[in-house]
Every structure is written in C-alpha cells, then in structure tokens.
Structure 1
Amino acid sequence: MKTTIDNFNGVVRFAFKDPVYMLEASKKKESLIFLHFSYGARFKYSTGYKSCFENWDFDKQKIKETKSNIINAREVNEFLSNIENAIKKEYSRLIAENIIVTNEVLKQFLDNFLNKNVKSEKIAPITFFDFADAYLELKKKGITKITYTSYNQTLKKVKAFSESNNIKVDFNSFDKSFALSFITYLEELDFALNTITKHLKNLKTFLIEANRKKFIDNVDFNLSDFNLKAEETTAIYLTDNELELMLNKDLSKYPELELARDIFLIGCYTGQRISDYNGLTKESIKRINGVDYFKIKQKKTKAEVQCPITKEIREIMDERHVGNPPKKMFEQLLNRCIKEVGQAIELNEPIEFSITRGGVEVKDFIPKYKLIHSHTARRSFCTNMYKKKMPVFDIMHFSGHKTEREFYKYIRIQGEERASHIVGQGFFNV
C-alpha cells in the first residue's frame, strides 16, 4: 500500500509588521521584520531587525544584498536563515517526541536560541570606518577609479589624523572642533588648500549618508562646518598657434613624447575629458552625412556626443597611426611627457603661479610648459572656441559642461587678451 510522507517542518515566511500597501507608499519607511510560522496554528516572532520596502526582496523574503543600502545585509539574511532552520528543526523534534507544540513553547525556544538577546534596533555598522568602507564599496560601481581612489585617500587621512592625535573617531566625533583640527592637521602636512578642500568634500559624502541613516545623533553636528572654499587654480590654455607648433614638431626620435602629443592634441580638438579622449578606437569613428566623427559616450556624464574629426586629427591618425586614433597611454606618463613636449616647443612664457599650501599663500613665476597636463586640453578647446565666438551652448555640447557657471571657469583669457576679446564683440565704437 502506498503512503505519503508528512511534512513536520511547518512553513516559515518573513514579513513586515506594517501593511505592505503603507510601506509601498513610503518606500524608505522602516518596519520590523517578523518571522511567521504556520504549523496548523500560527506563530509570530519579532526578529529585532528593521528594513524598508525598497530594500526588501519580497520573493526571497530577504534583504536585497546587491541593490540595497544596507551595509550588513548578508549578515542579517544569515540571521534570518538561521532562525528559520532552527525553528523548523525544533518543530520536527517536538513532533517526533510527541511533545505538544504551542506558541509559548516556540517562543521560549527562540528566546533561548537567541540567548534572549533580541533587540529592535536599526541595522548599524560597528564603527564609522566600517560604515565608510562598506558604503564606498556600494558606490564603487557608480564612480570612476580616480574618484574611488580619492575617497580611499580621504579615509586614510582621517584614520591617520585620529592615530596622530590619539582620539577615537566614531559617528559623533564630527563637530566644528573636529573639522578645524582636521584642517590644521592637513595644513601641517603642507597640503595645498584645494587638496584639503577635496578631502573635506569627500568626508562630507560619508557624513551625509551616515546622517541620513540616523547613525549620527550629536546635537553639535553641522555639515556646514566641513565647508572650505577652494581657491581658483593657476590653469592655462594653449592658443591655436601653440597647438600648431606642437602638431608640427618632429618627435619621431622620441616615441613616448610623440604618442603623448598626439593623444593630447585630440583632446584639444574635441574638448573631451582625458577619460574620453585617451583610448579612442577605430570603432569610435562614425560617418554622418559624409563627415567623420568620434562617437563618444562620456564616462562621467553618460552623455553621448559626436565630435567631428578635424583636419588636424585626420593628419595625426593618417601620418602616425595607420588611420586610427592613437593607442591609450597611462595618464601619469602622459602628464610627464606633455610637459617635455611643451618644453621642446619652447613654451617658456613666465606664468604667475599662486597656491595656498600649509595655510600660507605662495606666489612664484614658472614657465608655461610646467603647467601643461591632461586637463589643459579641454580648457584649450573651450577657450579657443570661445575666442572664435562659437556659442557657449554649442561649446558645452562637446565639453559636457552642465551649467554656464561651470563652463566659464574654463575660459582662461584675462588682462589685455580679455579686453581685446570684449572690444572685438562690437560693443565699443573704436
């Protein structure tokens, strides 16, 4: 005679204390997670953890581990699995030993299993640095490698600051006194003002998220204490004549300099960031209405732009790269080489250089070629096109600037050159 095997495990599910329709209407509202156990009767038990609609996987009845902002989602999910397995195993034992199962018996078992240490509390990391490291990993896929490295450097500076001053940094350490002491510490290390500003800005990113998750309850916490105004850098651009000198310079005996020059000039003629102009390929070239373009999806903004391949770019590709864009070069090497190229074409004009370092403003004159780096290419494009009276809106289309305010920071004409440019607009009767 055939028989069936009875299921002595019962059925476990996890659900929120609050109705789902209410949580869906407010997807960030947290609610306690309850274990529901059906064994003929119904048993409900608080797990002590909270989550919200947007972080909960309703199919798996677990916290989302890849798309949520919960730092220790995996740890919580393991906890949920452990108590699920435990109550099923205990229920099977009770049935096998003919012990009457009640909600009180199940509750006492779970209380003992958890050492009566069930807490209703928000999920929080142990330390600020645990939180910051985990949050940075969550952001990693959405930021550039350079930005990721910058955030890491900031965390290292905060750790070094805490060790140097023999203080423990936790979520409630961040008040005005901390900000001023941290700034002083960086100044004593002889960091430039803009470097200090960058570290404060990075630190604020972590503090904003920690505050949003209510990990900070210091009444003296104020994000404005971590504001520090950056100073305008001494940045240059290369004129069309200087770009022509660079283009025509014979560098065939110096392959690295030649490659750096060719990559850099493509940046000057397209207006792109180095992450977009360094590493173009044959597949980047598209023909539209008889004209060749670089079709570029900008890495920072994700915007797509078509940059016309100018005669200069075509000359670079045809003469030295078999009709293709130059191969990619490490940015640090490019920055070193392009200065040597600038020196080779005698860009020796003295430029007044001002920087606040270690809290002290320092002024000096240095030759122009020493200020050339990968970002000079984009500044050169913007400034030269502006001088040619291309509409700002059109320049921004290529450069990727989102606001005119940001764009005008790139326009590096001043003094006599700026006065001449304004007069040339026809506003004066001269």
Structure 2
Amino acid sequence: MASLKFFIRTQLSDTSKKPVNIRVRLRDRQKDTYSKTQLSIPAKFWNQKARTTRTKISNSGDFAERDWYKDQLEALERHILKSYQDGGELSKEWLSECIEKFRSPESFEKKPVTLFDYISHFIEQSEQSINPKTGSPVHYRIRRDYIKTFDLLKEFAGGRVIDFKSIDLDFYNDWINFLQTKNIGSTEEPKYYKANTVGKFVKNLKVFLNKATEDGINTNLRYKSHRFVKIQVETDSIYLNEAELSRIQQIDLSNRPYL
C-alpha cells in the first residue's frame, strides 16, 4: 500500500503571487521518493496543511483556475496510484516518468509499424543475425536477396500503401503477375524472371511476414494460406555446391602451371 501527498517548497510568504512548483511524494513500506509535477501555482492559493488533495487548492474567488487545478491534481493522484498498483517499481525515475505519461500520453504510445518500415529494419538487423540452421552469420547473398525482394516490393507498390493488412490472395496473385511479366532484359531482347526466381521472392516475403508475426507486429495470417505458396519447378540445371567449389579451389596445380 502506498501513500501520496502533494506539497510545495517555498520560503515565500503566504501572500506571494509568484508561482511555485507543486511536488508529489509517494512512499510505501520500503521506499520514499518525490518528484516535481510540472504544475505551478501562486503560493497564496496553496494550503500546505490541508489533508486532502482537493482542499489544498484555495477556494478563493480571486483564483479563477481553482477547479482546474483541483481536477488535475486528483486525476494525477489516481494515475500515479493506479500505475503503482499495476506493478510500478517505486523510484524517483519511475515517478518522474509516470508524471510525464500523465502530461503527454501520446509521446509514450507505440506507433504502428508499417510493413515497409519493418522490412527495412529486418534487413538492417540481418547484418548481425545468425542463421539458426548453420549457427553462422546470415550470408551476404541472402541479405542481397532480401534487399532485391524489398526493391521489387516498392516498385510493385508504385506509390500505393501496402501494409500488413494488404497481404491476401489478391495481393499474392498481383505480386506473382508483376514478377512474371517484369522485363529484366531490353526492349529488343526481353527477359523475364524464371519460375524458381519468382518463388524465391515469394519465400523472402514470407520470411519477413513470419518474423513480423513472431515479433507481434503482424496479426494478418492470410499469407499462411496453402495457396500463398513459393513457386518452384524441377530443373535440369547442373551446378556445383559450395563444398565442391571449395574442393576445386584447394587442388594443388603448382606443378601443372598450364592448368
């Protein structure tokens, strides 16, 4: 249980019209602290000995703002005590922040994070991220693909607002169509992304959305539909994996310079 009282510190006479800051003292069985409220009042209109918050403000007809001050102090008292009861850890810093939240609640409100803001942050953080499958830092090629996917999303948006709530099957179909028909060659020799490359961009978008969902930023789960899939086709392309490339690199050809 905590007790709270408002007071002023002044050496001024009770008739002074100079404003003084109203302070608040909060204490429980273990701690005792105080802070400024950022409310100032002429000393002549303050009753330091009054027992209740409302009666500390003079009822003098000369003080036109008396009701406003009474309402403000009572509201602040309720706010502080409720914050304390809700688990506030009593300290001077906590009390000062609690008062600031009462004065400017909008400055403490969490602003919604947009899809593009989140992707930008995700890519920035990926430079220090660890790949959970390998235990190694995320490879630069993966980050490069993230950046390319983001660039294509911004191009696809074309100035439109695309946010988490925009991601549905209609978006998916339009996104696939955009990727499949985008000419990455020239007018004379058009060239288009292959199906597996389109699938890679879809996969990256789902990576962004999955992480945003884990972080509690995204609540739209329509991208988890079985129709919102990464396009993939079988290919006959033959390529070397990293282990094979490494073996080639380590071959000693010093006695066969022509190779």
Q: TM-score, normalised by structure 1?
A: 0.33
In structure 2, what is the equivalent of residue 153 of structure 1? 148
* Counterpart-to-counterpart distance in 2, 1:203 and 1:185: 14
Matched, 1:137 2:124: yes
Query: Paired residue for 2:164, among 168, 171, 195?
Result: 171
What amino acid is aligned across from residue 132 of structure 1 in structure 2?
I
SS at match of 1:202: helix
Structure number with higher relative contact order (C-alpha < 8 Å, ≥ 6 residues apart)? 1
Deviations 1:64-98 (A, max 9, x none): xxxxxxxxxxxxxxxxxxxxxxx97627999xx99
For 2:161 and 2:38, locate their aligned partners in 1 and report how far apart those are by CA, in whole Å. Answer: 49
- Cα distance change of structure 1 residues 200 and 88 upon mapping to structure 2, 3 Å threshold: farther
Gaps of 5+ in 1: 1-37, 43-86, 238-266, 281-308, 321-340, 342-430
Distance apart, 1:191 and its partner CA? 1.4
Q: 1:215 aligns with which of 217, 222, 225?
A: 217
Match of 1:32 in 2: none
Q: Distance in 2 between matches of 1:162 and 1:93?
A: 48
CA RMSD of aligned residues (A): 4.3
Q: Which amino acid aligns with 1:175?
A: D
Q: In structure 2, how many angstroms separate the alpha carbons of the residues matched to 1:155 and 1:93?
A: 48
Q: Is the 8 A contact 1:175 1:220 kept in 2?
A: yes
Asked whether the 8 Å contact 1:124–1:215 carries over to 2, the reply is: no
Q: Deviations over 1:38-69 (max 9, x none)?
A: 96615xxxxxxxxxxxxxxxxxxxxxxxxxxx
How far did residue 156 of structure 1 move? 0.8
Judging changes above 3 Å, is the alpha-carbon distance between structure 1 residues 214 and 319 closer, same or farther for their aligned structure 2 residues? same
Q: Tell me what 1:162 maps to.
A: 157
Q: 1:181 to 1:214 in 2, by over 3 A?
A: same
Give 1:193 shift. 0.6
Structure number having the greater strand percentage: 1
The aligned residue for residue 389 of structure 1 is none
- Corresponding residue SS for 1:117: helix
CA distance in 2, matches of 1:99, 1:226: 68
Query: Aligned in 2, Cα 1:168/1:236: closer, same or farther, shift over 3 Å?
Result: same
Structure 1 residue 113: deviation in Å?
3.1
| Equivalence for 1:191 | 193
Contact 2:25 2:34 in 1 (8 A): no
Contact 1:193 1:230 in 2 (8 A): yes
Q: Could you tell me whether the CA contact under 8 Å between 2:196 and 2:233 is conserved in 1?
A: yes
Q: 1:195 to 1:185 in 2, by over 3 A?
A: same
Partner AA of 2:77 in structure 1: E
Offset from partner CA, 1:374-420 (integer Å, 9 cap, x none): xxxxxxxxxxxxxxxxxxxxxxxxxxxxxxxxxxxxxxxxxxxxxxx
| 1:41 and 2:14 correspond | no
1:9-408 correspondence to structure 2 within 5 Å? 41-42=27-28, 90=36, 104=77, 107=80, 109-114=99-104, 116-117=105-106, 125-141=112-128, 142-163=137-158, 167-189=160-182, 190-218=192-220, 220-236=222-238, 272=243, 274=245, 276=246, 313-314=251-252, 316-320=253-257
**Shift, 1:188, TM fit:** 0.9
- 3-state DSSP of counterpart to 2:154: helix
- Cα drift, residue 138 of structure 1: 2.0
When residues 149 and 125 of structure 1 are mapped into structure 2, their CA distance, relative to the original with a 3 A threshold, is: farther
Task: Measure, in 2, the Cα distance between the counterparts of 1:191 and 1:214.
Answer: 33
Letter of the 1:184 counterpart:
N
Once residues 317 and 223 of structure 1 are traced to their aligned partners in structure 2, the CA distance between those partners, rounded to angstroms, is 56
Distance 2:247 2:111 in 1: 42
Matched-pair contact (CA < 8 Å) for 2:113–2:217? no
Is the Cα–Cα contact under 8 Å of residues 26 and 34 in structure 2 kept in the other structure?
no
Distance 2:106 2:112 in 1: 18
Q: Shift in Å at residue 200 of structure 1?
A: 0.4
- TM value normalised by structure 2: 0.51
* 1:233-278 Cα deviation digits (max 9, x unpaired): 23237xxxxxxxxxxxxxxxxxxxxxxxxxxxxx89xx7165x568
Rounded to whole Å, the distance in 1 between the matches of 2:243 and 2:47 is 75
How far, CA to CA, are the matches of 2:27 and 2:126 in structure 1? 45
Pick closer, same or farther for the CA change 1:169–1:318 going to 2, 3 Å. Answer: same
Distance change (3 Å), C-alpha of 1:148 and 1:223: farther
Q: In 2 relative to 1, CA 40–126 (structure 1 residues): closer, same or farther, beyond 3 Å?
A: closer
- Contact 2:37–2:99 under 8 Å retained in 1: no
How many Å apart are 1:216 and its aligned residue? 3.1
| Pair 126,167 (structure 1): closer, same or farther in 2 beyond 3 Å | same
Question: Retained in 1: the 8 A contact 2:156–2:175?
Answer: yes
CA–CA distance in 1 between the matches of 2:233 and 2:114? 34
Q: Which SS does the other structure have where 2:165 is aligned?
A: coil
1:393 corresponds to: none
Q: Percent identity over the alignment? A: 21
The Cα offsets for residues 296-333 of structure 1, whole Å up to 9 and x where unpaired, read as xxxxxxxxxxxxx7xxx23x14555xxxxxxxxxxxxx
The question of whether the paired residues in 2 share the 8 Å contact of 1:175 and 1:222 is answered with no
